[in-house]
Chains A and B, each alone.
Chain A
Amino acid sequence: MKKIQDFKLKTYQWLNDENYIFTLQSEEDIEAVEAGMFAEIEVPNASDVFLRRPISVLDVDYDNKSLSFYIKAIGKGTRKLGTLQEGDPISLIYPLGNTFTIGNIRSALIVGGGSGIAPFVMLGRELKEKGIKTTFLLGARSKEDIFLTDEFAKYGEVCVTTEDGSLGEKGLVTQHSLFSDGSQFDKIYTCGPDPMMKAVARIAKERSIACEASLENMMACGFGACLCCVTPTSDGRNLCVCTEGPVFNTQELAWSI
């Protein structure tokens, strides 16, 4: 059940100047969280930040009553969240949104870029537990922007593309050789910048592969109260991303792919 819960900052793990993982701990038990779900995080002591910020749950530790998040500091809220002191209080509304679906598949491709890699730690672990062969494909501008590869390597093969060729194959994710070397996947999961997700969804469609995308639309509430976060469907309806998503079957969306 979704709730408002008080946490305290436990630790930061800085990946570089702009990317960090932070772990928050609560005195209360953690609600059940599944891969794809997110939290609306209050940005404490920030007079220039008004709304909470939606952030995917990176990982959950029920025994230690803690949740961790991977954050890419792109603006005032995500930067401010990187300036807390150990023990500082922080309020979360969670668990929000739906989850990825797995179904009857044997192999999966996960394509992530930017802040959109966060939901795939829990998804990758779940796929591995179910015995599904998983390949991770991470894309970024350069090798400094590629994160969590060690974590993903626990659950499957990790492939990388960088635009400058500093790590992995040079180019965009959709230009990676696994799309041309005959590799077969029963399902593709993607999260990241819209153009990347659309390009991935286009390939999935061409090859009749099921594809789920997790959207990062701007949100005011995160729990269905305002209808600010919508995405249009191919048949002209506006779906509420925070309650009907953030994970959608890409065929359903009006992505003109």
Chain B
Amino acid sequence: MVDLEIKIGGFTMKNPVSTASGTFGFGEEFIDFMDLNRLGGIFVKGLTLKNREGNPYPRMAETPSGMLNAVGLQNKGIDYFIKHTYPKIKHFDTQIIPNVNGATVEDYIAVTEKINEMDGIETIELNISCPNVKEGGMAFGVSCPSAVAVTEAVRKAYDKTLIVKLSPNVTDITEIAKGVEGAGADAVSLVNTFLGMAIDAKTRKPILSTVTGGLSGPAIKPIALRMVWQVYQAVNIPVIGMGGIMDATDAIEFMLAGSSAIQIGTANFMDPQVSIKVIDGIEAYCKENGFSAAKDLVGAMITD
């Protein structure tokens, strides 16, 4: 028996595998395909204080080994989530982790305060790295002072585990990671999408309505892996890694580089059962390689 349990700050996941915000809806979309109870956690679609309709279509462009998206945080708002969505998914035996977004620090606090009152939710992921909104979003995550300021403010408003999701669109991600650690984050998750763009040469027009969008998928994996490894060395809080994970081997690489847990994003679109395969694959790898616990893989890359 391999012990798959992972601890992130004050909360426990039954295994290191979770699904990334914005790529798994609110879990309901996957019920026909898989048993949600098997997941370590579900990072649900980004939530804002008020209803948001997101950006105009087209919001997606396929790129070599990846995709650009410019969804722009379309969601029905935190009150709708609390009243209508959460009651439908809370019975699942997995961690439901809200992804908190805002245009201002006050927005972030207001959303967080509402979640703080909820039973059954033990952690939030503070998204200071969305590249697809005009105001707020990534602007908070690309400068150290603003990342620290929003983390400090939300820390005061939230009693339980606080995960801060980092933007890769920075010169030195370790600086921001250390900043939010100092501001009270219990863990960091990385990476969000890389700012990119696509043009249709035939029409000479940008493909996305917003011109630029966020790149995800295997195209970003080597960079994401490098960033996870750097942040793992720079901070003393757990790191949750993601970026182009397509199978169990990718997930194991992220754990070896220092991820305590991992998130699967874009891969869910092609194979809605991929997360289950990754859980089984990590367990099999541990057995084959003599690890009695998945947590022993964390940072176990051999460098000499």
A residues bordering B, Cβ < 8 Å?
1-4, 42, 48-52, 93, 217-232, 236-238, 243
CB closest residue in chain A, given B75: A227
B54-A225 in contact (CB<8A): no
Chain B residues within 8 Å of A221, by CB:
268-269, 272
B227 to chain A, nearest CB (A): 22
B96 to chain A, nearest CB (A): 16
Q: A4-B273, A226-B23 are in contact. Are A232 and B57 (CB under 8 A)?
A: yes
Count B-side interface residues using an 8 Å CB cutoff: 33
Complex: A226 Cα to B46 Cα, angstroms = 11
11 chain-A/chain-B pairs, Cβ below 8 angstroms? A2-B32, A4-B271, A50-B270, A93-B272, A217-B57, A219-B60, A220-B60, A225-B24, A225-B269, A226-B60, A227-B71
Give the contacting residue for B270; candidates A51, A224, A230, A237; CB below 8 A. Answer: A51
Chain A residues within 8 Å of B67, by CB:
50-51, 220
Q: Does B9 contact A (CB under 8 A)?
A: no
CB closest residue in chain B, given A1: B32
Q: A2-B33, A218-B58, A230-B57 are in contact. Are A238 and B65 (CB under 8 A)?
A: no
| Residues from 45 to 67 in B contacting A, C-beta threshold 8 Å | 45, 53-54, 56-60, 62-67
Chain A residues within 8 Å of B62, by CB:
49-51
B32-A230 in contact (CB<8A): no
B286 to chain A, nearest CB (A): 26
Q: Does B41 contact A (CB under 8 A)?
A: no
A236 to chain B, nearest CB (A): 7
A224-B29 in contact (CB<8A): yes
Chain B residues within 8 Å of A50, by CB:
62-67, 217, 270
Chain B residues within 8 Å of A224, by CB:
25, 29
Chain B residues within 8 Å of A229, by CB:
57, 59-60
Q: Does B80 contact A (CB under 8 A)?
A: no
CB closest residue in chain B, given A219: B60
Q: Does B11 contact A (CB under 8 A)?
A: no
Q: Does B30 contact A (CB under 8 A)?
A: yes
Instruction: Give 3 closest A-B pairs by Cβ, nearest first.
Output: A228-B60, A221-B269, A224-B29
A84 to chain B, nearest CB (A): 18
B270-A232 in contact (CB<8A): no
B69-A223 in contact (CB<8A): no
Chain B residues within 8 Å of A228, by CB:
59-60, 69, 71
A254 to chain B, nearest CB (A): 10
A172 to chain B, nearest CB (A): 21
Q: Does B74 contact A (CB under 8 A)?
A: yes
B57-A226 in contact (CB<8A): no
B residues bordering A, Cβ < 8 Å?
22-25, 29-30, 32-33, 45, 53-54, 56-60, 62-67, 69, 71, 74, 217, 266, 268-273
CB closest residue in chain B, given A222: B269
Chain B residues within 8 Å of A232, by CB:
53, 56-57
CB closest residue in chain B, given A75: B62
B62 to chain A, nearest CB (A): 5
A230-B33 in contact (CB<8A): no
CB closest residue in chain B, given A238: B53
Chain B residues within 8 Å of A218, by CB:
58, 60
CB closest residue in chain B, given A91: B271
Complex: A225 Cα to B62 Cα, angstroms = 16
A226-B270 in contact (CB<8A): no
Chain B residues within 8 Å of A223, by CB:
29, 272
Chain B residues within 8 Å of A49, by CB:
62
CB closest residue in chain B, given A2: B32
CB closest residue in chain A, given B69: A228
Complex: A226 Cα to B45 Cα, angstroms = 9
Q: A4-B272, A51-B67, A220-B67 are in contact. Are A231 and B29 (CB under 8 A)?
A: no
Complex: A237 Cα to B74 Cα, angstroms = 10
CB closest residue in chain B, given A217: B57
Chain B residues within 8 Å of A220, by CB:
60, 67, 69, 266, 269
Chain A residues within 8 Å of B33, by CB:
2-4
CB closest residue in chain B, given A224: B29
Chain B residues within 8 Å of A48, by CB:
64
Other 12 A-B pairs with CB < 8 A, given A50-B66, A223-B272:
A2-B33, A4-B33, A4-B272, A42-B270, A50-B67, A223-B29, A225-B24, A226-B71, A227-B54, A229-B60, A238-B53, A238-B74
B254 to chain A, nearest CB (A): 20
A28 to chain B, nearest CB (A): 15
Chain B residues within 8 Å of A52, by CB:
269-270
| Residue in A2, A4, A225, A237 whose Cβ sees the most chain B Cβ within 10 Å | A225
Complex: A242 Cα to B74 Cα, angstroms = 15
Chain A residues within 8 Å of B66, by CB:
50
| Residue in A3, A4, A48, A232 whose Cβ sees the most chain B Cβ within 10 Å | A4
Complex: A3 Cα to B272 Cα, angstroms = 9
Chain B residues within 8 Å of A219, by CB:
60
Complex: A51 Cα to B23 Cα, angstroms = 14
A141 to chain B, nearest CB (A): 17
Chain B residues within 8 Å of A226, by CB:
22-23, 60, 69, 71, 269
A230-B54 in contact (CB<8A): yes
A29 to chain B, nearest CB (A): 16
